[in-house]
Amino acid sequence: MYDIIIIGAGTAGLTAAIYARRAGKDVIVYEGESYGGQIITTPEIANYPGIKNISGYAFATGLFEQAQELGAEVSFDQISSISGNAREGFTVTGDLGTQQGKTVILACGARNRKMGLADEEKYAGRGVSYCATCDGAFFKGKEVAVFGGGNTALEDAIYLSQICSKVYLIHRRDQFRAEQALVNTALSYDNIVPVLSNVVSGLSGEKALEALELTSTKDESKSTLAVDGLFVAIGQVPSNEFARGFVELDEAGYVKAGEDCHTNVLGVYTAGDGRTKTLRQLTTAAADGAISAVAACNFIAKSFL
Amino acid sequence: MAEIIITKENFEQEVIKSDKKVLVDFWASWCGPCMMLAPVVEEIANERDDIKVCKINIDDNEELAQKYGVMSIPTLSVFEKGEELRSSVGYKNKQGVLSFIDDKG
């Protein structure tokens, strides 16, 4: 039985592994995709204290190697169920098998929200993208659209306006939700065209995306917008579904916990973007990782003499 | 067998005229998920002698990326007898890539 099972090898989970290993605990980290989490698509991180500039890939790789060199085990397996309690231990099950631990840290993070359109999968990588900085270069000199009204959407539009001839910024409300400074910057560019009070309701194109169907949120009227690319930035969804019914989640699916990272289940902690919190950043993910690992260590010290 | 670096000079010979099934990895050095996928693809290249694994850097080979409609990376494509059979976008783990190659996904 491991001392601590960590689910998720993003910034929160790997930081938890580092702290737990340095405290001498046996640790296994589960990851269903690649290590690093969402940060790996970021070309440049410039707001992590003490590091002036680093790519998301380099940051994630450094963190991963640090955890591994300290002796954290990593299993690339997608955990699909979790059960148990603090007295008898917890059991997690993935595609490759089952493992037991005295404590669990849920650091499952979040992923980009999909639009939920019938053809969405078909056009992914054929004009529909969820990462402007990854895929923007493929749309040099072309007309594209960004769907969303938050900070990410506005940042994407500003980034794309430097590459593309025109960027339509489609948002369901009549004003953007993003910080005012970002909105001002975006609207100062002539080639960013706001399309407010509309949602993307359909995709069309023979081999690749050629046009969007828009539906007005005011009067349900439909219109068509010809674009070569659509960048979807309508927020994140937490990856906690497998833990529903085991720990308490909020309406949006985030694990309910305060800054102490304690869930409603004794011996189970949560860290990173998957936790209910106001600011989702690398620094807050790392902080959660440290807090949850120390909490788990303290719990083990008290409960398993 | 080892991975083969593709340019427009050797594309025809290595991919189109290959007598083995070919896995093509469209990538770029600035793409984090591509860098994550690279060791997975390399491992498969070293383990599987029945297929050929080819790497296409899209910055150096814009024409090839355009020709095959690559608009997002990483993109993996399977070629057989000169035809692109299927493609897939985004990171996959080893099992996922193997299933994609063998069309069991």
**How much is the ipTM here?**
0.74
Residue B37 has pLDDT above 60, yes or no: yes
A125:B72 CB<8 A: yes
Q: If you ran DSSP here, which 8-state letter would residue A82 be given?
A: E
Chain A residues whose CB is inside 8 A of the B35 CB are: 40, 57, 61
Can you point out the beta strands (E) in chain A? 2-7, 27-30, 73-75, 79-85, 89-94, 98-106, 110-112, 128-129, 143-147, 166-170, 192-195, 198-204, 211-216, 222-226, 229-232, 236-238, 268-270
pTM: 0.84
pLDDT of residue A43: 78
Residues A121 and A190: their CA atoms lie apart, in Å, by: 32
Residues A57 and A18: their CA atoms lie apart, in Å, by: 18
pLDDT of residue A44: 83
Residue B105 has pLDDT above 60, yes or no: no
pLDDT of residue A42: 82
Residue A262 has pLDDT above 70, yes or no: yes
Chain B residues whose CB is inside 8 A of the A33 CB are: 91, 93
Closest CA relative to residue A238, chosen from A112, A153, A121, A150 = A112
Residues B48 and A216: their CA atoms lie apart, in Å, by: 52
Confidence class for position A305, pLDDT limits 50, 70, 90: low
SS3 A79: strand
Average pLDDT, chain B: 93
Query: What's the full length of chain B, in residues?
Result: 105
**What are the contacts of A45-51 at 24+ separation with CB within 8 A?**
A45/A282, A47/A281, A47/A282, A47/A283, A48/A282, A48/A283, A49/A283
- Which member of A34, A127, A207 has the closest CB to residue B36? A34
Q: Dihedral through CA A122, CA A124, CA A126, CA A129, nearest 10?
A: 160
Residue A303 has pLDDT above 90, yes or no: no
Q: Which amino acid is at A212?
A: L
Confidence class for position B76, pLDDT limits 50, 70, 90: very high
β-strand partners of B89? B75
Residue B68 has pLDDT above 70, yes or no: yes
